[in-house]
Amino acid sequence: MATKAFAPAKINLTLHVTGQRPDGYHLLDSLVVFADVGDTLEFSPGPALSISVTGEHAEGVPTDSRNLVWKAAEVTGWTGHIDLNKNLPHGGGIGGGSSDAAATLRMAVGQDELVPLDTALSLGADVPVCTQTRSTRMRGIGEQLMSVELPQLPALLVNPGVEVATGAVFSSLGSRENPPMPEVIPEFQTVEDCATWLQSQRNDLEPPTTRLAPEVERVLGDLAETKHSLLTRMSGSGSTCFALYPTMKDAHFAAYEIGAAHPGWWCRATQLN
């Protein structure tokens, strides 16, 4: 019998680069939330592993062992056919591949079981947090996870259709030794409270990304000009950016504005949690 799973988009509300280990891995302090938009997967057990990819962003997604979904199935010993419906732009800083891999791990170990941290981390730094699918503070190289209570955040996600290489972004960083977030994240009563606090935080990868991909800077500027926008920021290493709004009505209105002005951009109103 086939099993279905949802792989939500991962959004970095903050991303502070706080150091670098001798082995080259960067140390991060990031507040991560998940959207109600994402990829979907269907798993059909069978004697051999295979993947098919459909959907808006299927083009260019590998269907062999290069795919993180394949690697996740392989590391757990699961076999069968996986149909991946790719709705999220790849190379967009919203953890599409990592979230797909995490959904595969959750399916393989069982929804009521915890995914072993070492198994998730072996597939990539974002995979452990993507197994949580709820607001989480992520530190270290992605292995230190702490649940955080946040209000539901109406948002608009926008990707201009450019891929940004994560390695190039990190190589262009001006500093790798930056302050972390405060040790205690406040409790927020409203979206406005949360957005005000987030304004004092950072995504340290945003400046190098906008230098490498000027389209990202344009997205940020256009989002900042939408009505009732509370905060605009880039997620991960780009190129997807987001804005927060007081209500979902505001987010949908902004999506209409941006979509009309830039019909070629990927644009989704969503709720972050």
Is 4 known to be catalytic? no
Query: How buried is 77 (Cβ within 10 angstroms: 0-12 exposed, 13-18 middle, 19+ buried)?
Result: exposed
Inter-residue contact 15 to 204 (CB < 8 Å): yes
Q: Would you give the distance in Å from CA 213 to the centre of its chain?
A: 18
What region does 228 belong to: left with phi over 0, alpha with psi -120 to 50, or beta? left
Catalytic residue among 29, 100, 126, 222: 126
Could you say which DSSP state residue 24 is in? S
Work out the end-to-end distance of the chain between its first and last CA atoms, rounded to an integer number of angstroms. 31
Instruction: Give the 3-state secondary structure of residue 37.
Output: strand
Burial pattern 127-139, b for ≥16 Cβ within 10 A else e, equals bbbbbbbebbbbb
Phi, psi for 39 (deg, rounded to 5) = -85, 160
Is 86 known to be catalytic? no
Query: CA-to-CA distance for 233 and 30, rounded, in angstroms?
Result: 13
The catalytic residue positions are 10, 126
